[in-house]
């Protein structure tokens, strides 16, 4: 038997090594074809930019959002339209209270657009939550979502779809048709779906198909939950998760992969959500389906969309891996920008923010316009809103 002091020393060494491993395991960016893939020829001048659509997900942690906001401010101008992809706040308190933390968090995101940009908020699962519960099971409340909508609209931002509706709602931005969904609606218990009792999944999917058939040549579907992800919500956990603590860590990973929470793609409800949307979009695929939810940046080649974007690093970093269709992934905080350019070109840039809050230019770039079949024009109206009538 080892002396007690020797056991404590061994345990101290183990935890020291574990801490060292955790510090050295920051996710490195993944590039399918190497670091320089797509960077060499994705260049354009500022004069060629007609519109910027900026995608930021999961910006609801005010401290983590601050360095991201600094870099957003260097990009945003009057040609910009800022889309927050849900989980707009992780704090649930009275938005009307003078010391409301959630109010300060939402206002910080609105103020980034003060340079003349339009600002649209999309609901995420945390935006439906009321206080209480635990990490994987917060009670959902339509009142909480409606309070957030009212607050954001009163401060000059947009909120789509209207609180309680799954959508689709439509926002026109230049030559782009942004189709907005509240994917949390699919994951709600029936007794919470009270705002539009006549709304059915079939109606939503019919309207989504209709919107994809008509209108602007560039169509983007935005929501909170991704069609595909290779982070924790997609079942990926780094090896050290099994050691935090041993055995229990492994049981936690197993439970997440067996669908213990509807927020993971492994769950039956989430798989139904993904399958329903993919079937609805298969006949008329959009250029992009963009989402947040996973605290990472991911670009994937899609099956029922030309590209699947996951831009959920607005205020938190996360661990992320890659899959068969992954073109780029990065577990750092950051955001993505779509550039509509002269000559009917569309370009994508992803911007990553490191642990020190520094952003040294785009971490990934590529052209997206090879699949366009018709043109868009700077002469089109710069914006317009077409919220759908639920059940129409």
For residue 325, list its beta bridge partners: none
Nearest by Cα to 106 from 87, 79, 78: 87
172: number of Cβ within 10 Å = 17
How far is it, in rounded angstroms, from Cα 355 to Cα 218? 35
- Local structure of 129: helix, strand or coil: strand
295: number of Cβ within 10 Å = 26
Residue whose token pair is 């939550």: 129
Distances (CA, A) of 389 to 100, 123, 204: 33, 18, 10
Nearest by Cα to 319 from 309, 329, 311: 329
Spatial contact of 105 and 152, defined as CB atoms under 8 Å apart: no
Q: Mutual orientation of helices 142-154 and 101-111 as an angle, nearest 10°?
A: 50
Contacts with 135 (C-beta within 8 Å, 6 or more apart), sequence order: none
State residue 375's pLDDT score: 55
CA 361 to chain centre: 20
Nearest by Cα to 78 from 343, 389, 382: 382
State residue 5's pLDDT score: 53
Which string of DSSP letters, residue by residue, matches 208-262? HHHHHHSS-SEEEEE-SS-S--SBGGGT---GGGGBTTBTHHHHHHHHHHTTSST
Beta strand 118-121 pairing with 80-84: parallel
State residue 379's pLDDT score: 39
75: number of Cβ within 10 Å = 18
**Where do the domains of the chain lie, and which CATH numbers do they carry?**
48-226+287-386 (3.60.21.10)
The answer to whether the pTM exceeds 0.85 is yes
Beta strand 345-353 pairing with 118-121: unpaired
| Backbone angles phi and psi of 280, in degrees to 5 | -70, -30
Nearest by Cα to 364 from 33, 116, 11: 33
Tokens representing residue 85 in the block: 């992809």
How far is it, in rounded angstroms, from Cα 201 to Cα 272? 11
Burial of 275 (0-12, 13-18, 19+ CB in 10 A): exposed
For residue 345, list its beta bridge partners: 341
| Backbone angles phi and psi of 48, in degrees to 5 | -85, -10
Q: Digits of tens for pLDDT over the chain (392 positions)?
A: 555 554 454 555 444 444 444 444 445 899 987 765 545 578 999 999 999 999 999 999 999 999 999 999 999 999 999 999 999 999 989 999 988 999 999 999 999 988 789 999 999 999 999 765 444 556 788 999 999 999 999 999 999 999 999 999 999 998 899 999 999 999 998 888 878 888 899 999 999 999 999 888 899 999 999 999 999 999 898 888 888 888 888 988 888 888 889 999 999 999 999 999 999 999 999 999 999 999 999 999 988 999 999 999 999 999 999 999 999 999 999 999 999 999 989 999 999 998 888 887 899 999 996 544 455 544 333 344 443 433 33
How far is it, in rounded angstroms, from Cα 377 to Cα 91? 41
How far is it, in rounded angstroms, from Cα 374 to Cα 260? 44
């Amino acid at each position: 038997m080892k002396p007690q002091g020797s056991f404590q020393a061994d345990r101290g060494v183990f935890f020291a090594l574990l801490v060292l491993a955790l510090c050295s395991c920051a996710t490195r960016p993944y590039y399918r074809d190497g670091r320089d893939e797509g960077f060499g020829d994705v260049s354009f001048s500022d004069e060629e930019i007609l519109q910027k659509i900026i995608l930021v997900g999961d910006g609801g942690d005010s401290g983590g959002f601050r360095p991201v906001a600094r870099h957003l401010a260097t990009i945003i101008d009057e040609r910009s339209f800022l889309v927050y992809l849900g989980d707009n706040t992780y704090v649930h308190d009275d938005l009307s209270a003078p010391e409301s933390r959630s109010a300060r968090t939402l206002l910080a995101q609105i103020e980034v657009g003060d340079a003349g940009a339009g600002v649209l908020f999309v609901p995420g699962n945390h935006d439906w939550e009321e206080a209480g519960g635990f990490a994987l099971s917060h009670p959902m409340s339509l009142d909480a979502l409606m309070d957030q909508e009212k607050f954001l609209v009163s401060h000059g931002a947009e909120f789509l779809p209207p609180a309680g509706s799954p959508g689709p709602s439509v926002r026109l931005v230049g030559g782009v048709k942004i189709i907005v969904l509240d994917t949390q609606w699919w994951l709600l218990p029936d007794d919470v779906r009270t705002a539009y009792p006549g709304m059915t999944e079939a109606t939503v999917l019919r309207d989504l198909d209709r919107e994809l058939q008509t209108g602007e040549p560039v169509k983007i579907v935005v929501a909170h939950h991704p069609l595909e992800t290779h982070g924790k919500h997609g079942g990926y956990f780094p090896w050290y998760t099994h050691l935090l603590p041993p055995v229990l860590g492994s049981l936690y990973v197993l439970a997440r992969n067996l669908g213990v929470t509807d927020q993971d793609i492994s769950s039956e409800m989430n798989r139904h959500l993904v399958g329903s949307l993919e079937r609805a979009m298969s006949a008329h695929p959009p250029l992009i389906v963009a989402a947040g939810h996973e605290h990472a940046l991911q670009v994937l080649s899609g099956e029922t969309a030309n590209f699947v974007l996951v831009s959920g690093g607005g205020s938190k970093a996360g661990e992320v891996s890659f899959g068969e269709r992954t073109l780029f992934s990065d577990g750092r905080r950051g955001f993505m920008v779509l550039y509509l350019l002269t000559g009917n070109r569309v370009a994508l840039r992803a911007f990553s923010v490191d642990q020190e809050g520094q952003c040294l230019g785009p971490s990934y770039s590529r052209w997206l316009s090879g699949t366009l079949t018709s043109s868009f024009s700077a002469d089109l109206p710069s914006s317009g809103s077409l919220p759908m009538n639920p059940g129409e």
